[in-house]
Amino acid sequence: MADHSPQFWRDERLPFVEARAIADGRKICYSLHSHEFFSIGAITAGTSSYINGEQQLQVKTGDVVIINPQQAHGCNPIGDRRWSYIMFYIDTAWLARLQQENTRSRHEGFTPFTAIASQDPRLFAGLNHLYALLIDPLRNHLEKQIALVDYFSELTLCLGTAPTLALEFNPKLETAAVFIRNHCTQSLTLEAICQASGLSPSYLIRAFKKRYGMTPHAYLVNQRIQYGHRLLKRGFPIAAAASESGFADQAHFQRTFKQLLAATPGQYQIPSANK
């Protein structure tokens, strides 16, 4: 496999985690997007621009990026030097349980992390060690499971969390987002979203972009890609995933998938490590 092609790892016995790595991402280009899960990654070579919500900075070798669920973000290389990284995608409910166990919080559900990046060498080294362990076919399931719990328990103690209300909160905006997520495979109109949320078109568009980092339409497209992403993970053929996700044709699905996730559906279908 070429160095610029992403490599995916997943294990059906550890359904709450997925990993991605790329050795040379100079040809990679991410559009602003979000995930339904928590993401954390380590920059292993080079320098890149990093957008997370309204914040923008440069990250370099040794840095760790932290991305809360549904947070619009993007990361792209700077210059023509090799840029590489590893990335983990963690089920939010699984991580929320670790947060509650380690902080003894009474809050149910995931609590967003305050930091969007870290230069802590322990977090960086630990993430690299964890990735090497997971992709090693000679290491057993129990060892991998324990390592995951250990690292992400430590993460909850190292990084500060912020209440969800740190972002502008209007329950009607959340209603609009939930409506889009629940109907993302359908053809939606602005009127339908406004009616479901009780918001005017002008307020919805302005406030939604501030809260979620993208317009309702961009959010809808992103949700369709996430839906198709889950279908591919379940083994659906690309054409079926495209159709079920609400795309008019397979070509459109493939173009959008690559634009948002910097990988083709075919590349995602075949993990680099044995299950």
Q: DSSP states of 212-267 as a string?
A: HSS-HHHHHHHHHHHHHHHHHHTT--HHHHHHHTT-SSHHHHHHHHHHHHSS-HHH
- pLDDT reading at 165 higher than 50: no
- pLDDT reading at 211 higher than 50: yes
> For 212-244, what is each residue's pLDDT tens digit?
888 899 999 999 999 999 999 999 999 999 999
Domains detected in the chain = 7-165 (2.60.120.280), 168-269 (1.10.10.60)
Long-range contacts of 47-51 (CB under 8 A, 24+ apart): 47/77, 47/78, 47/79, 47/81, 47/83, 48/75, 48/76, 48/77, 48/78, 48/83, 48/85, 49/74, 49/75, 49/76, 49/78, 50/74, 50/75, 50/116, 50/117, 51/75
Res 162: pLDDT: 56
> For 87-118, what is each residue's pLDDT tens digit?
999 999 999 988 887 776 666 789 999 999 99
Q: Are 113 and 66 in contact (CB under 8 A)?
A: yes
Res 169: pLDDT: 63
| Cβ-Cβ contacts under 8 Å for 59 (sequence gap 6 or more) | 43, 47, 48, 50, 65, 75, 117
Res 89: pLDDT: 97
CA 140 – CA 204 distance, rounded (Å)? 49
> Which pTM value belongs to this model?
0.80
Residue 217, CB half-sphere, CA atoms under 13 Å: how many? Answer: 4
Going by pLDDT thresholds of 50, 70 and 90, the confidence category of residue 159 is confident
Q: Are 266 and 250 in contact (CB under 8 A)?
A: no
Highest mean pLDDT out of 26-30, 170-174, 252-256? 252-256
- State both tokens at 70: 């549904």
Res 161: pLDDT: 65
- State both tokens at 125: 């080294």
Going by pLDDT thresholds of 50, 70 and 90, the confidence category of residue 167 is very low
CA 26 – CA 36 distance, rounded (Å)? 26
